[in-house]
Structure 1
Amino acid sequence: MDLIIETPRLLLRKMRLEDAEALFEMDKNPEVHKYLWQQPFTEIQEIEAYIEMVNNQYLTNKIGRFSTILKETNALIGWTGIKYVNDHVENGNTNFYDYGYRLNQKFWNKGYATEASKAWLEYGFNQMNIEEMNAYTHAENGASNRVLEKVGFTFIENYPDKDGVIWKWWQMKNDGFYNFLNKS
């Protein structure tokens, strides 16, 4: 899989082991994990194992999370992308396409998540012919919820996880993406 997606400011490419240091910097920050089960990474080996898992997803599912690079500086700002969820049940669902992103805190509030999201949705619906894309966010994560709403996802419902934490389930259908594009 040699997929590379470019946006005006970003380069989206497969994760590589050389990305471990930058991804570890992001994932050891408790603020980044505030709405992600509050378990920041404590050892770089955790990131290396994550990169290996994502690379296996590329092989198995032909898609996965991608390193997201700021073209101007070549800085890795986090990851974005489509994942095929078949390894767990989320809100009663499995075997579905999930859109997600995680950015290093120093790159928040600059429009990068929105820019990457639009590119990934276009790729997922136009190139992969996905019929339905899902996403889920912590109910209190206002910034992530706004990004999903901004790029055209529809809020479906709140649901509790196994610990009683409330999450939001989002969805976009392929035809909804075209309607969104025509409005933008």
Structure 2
Amino acid sequence: MQLETNRLKIVSFEAELFMPLYQLFCGNETVMKSAFKGRKLTKKEFLEVLSNDFILKDEEQIGFVSVLDKNTGDFIGFTGLIPCDFLGDKNDLEFGFVLHQDHWGKGFATEIGQFWIDFAKNELQKHRILAAASPHNHASINAIKKLGLTEVKEITTKDRGSRLVFSKEF
């Protein structure tokens, strides 16, 4: 998968992205405290996420992908669409984004979110999209609300802890 927004390239896993992803997942406490398990992952956990959840073939559409700066090629973070049943529908998809802190506050989260909303609606013919964020991650919550998603409920998951669930109908 290689797709684009105005400023970003969204790409499936490539070998040269292993180290930037590994450093983000396993070495970046600042970013990971509000993502996934609320902590850095172990190498084993990271390898499981990489093999189970990342898009490894270009024709796949559901899973995690890397985000690169279109002009410089710099690694910005990762994003993706994943199946979820937060609202009791196994056909729902959740979009998310985890960005390196060097790229916070530049509008990338909103740009990525709009990309997934358009993709889910136009390419996948979905009728709604969901997003979930830690109640303490105010920047993500603001980006999600800016995209027109509405808070539906708070849930607690085994792996991710407390999350606010947001929804947007098309």
Name the TM-score, length of structure 1 as normaliser.
Answer: 0.78
Distance 1:34 1:66, change over 3 A: same
Count of matched residue positions in the alignment of Structure 1 and Structure 2: 168
The aligned counterpart of 1:182 is none
- Percent identity between the aligned chains? 25
Partner of 1:32: 31
Indicate how the Cα distance of structure 1 residues 58 and 128 shifts in structure 2: closer, same or farther if over 3 A, else same.
farther
Residue matched to 1:70: 69
1:11 maps to 9
Segment of structure 1 superposing worse, 110-119 or 34-43: 34-43
Q: Flag the 1:166–1:63 CA change in 2: closer, same or farther, 3 A.
A: closer
**103, 107, 118: which is aligned to 2:114?**
118
Farther-moved stretch of structure 1 (8-17 vs 153-162): 153-162
Change (3 A) 1:58 1:169: farther
Is the 1:118–1:151 contact (alpha carbons within 8 Å) kept by the matching residues of 2?
yes
Unaligned runs of at least 5 residues, structure 2? none
Instruction: Tell me, yes or no, if the aligned pair for 1:17 and 1:48 is still in contact at 8 Å.
Output: no
Q: Which runs of 5+ in 1 are unaligned?
A: 175-184
Determine the C-alpha separation between the residues in 2 that align with 1:135 and 1:14: 21
Q: 1:33 to 1:55 in 2, by over 3 A?
A: closer
Q: Does structure 2 conserve the Cα–Cα contact (< 8 Å) formed by 1:80 and 1:117?
A: no
SS class of match (1:39): coil
Contact 2:67/2:79 (CA < 8 Å) preserved in 1? yes
Whole-angstrom distance in 2 between the partners of 1:132 and 1:38? 27
Q: Residues 130 and 58 (structure 1 numbering): CA distance in 2 closer, same or farther, change over 3 Å?
A: farther
Amino acid at match of 2:52: M
Asked if 2 retains the 8 angstrom alpha-carbon contact of 1:82 and 1:120, the reply is yes
Partner of residue 155, structure 1: 151
Q: C-alpha separation between the residues in 2 aligned to 1:4 and 1:47? A: 22
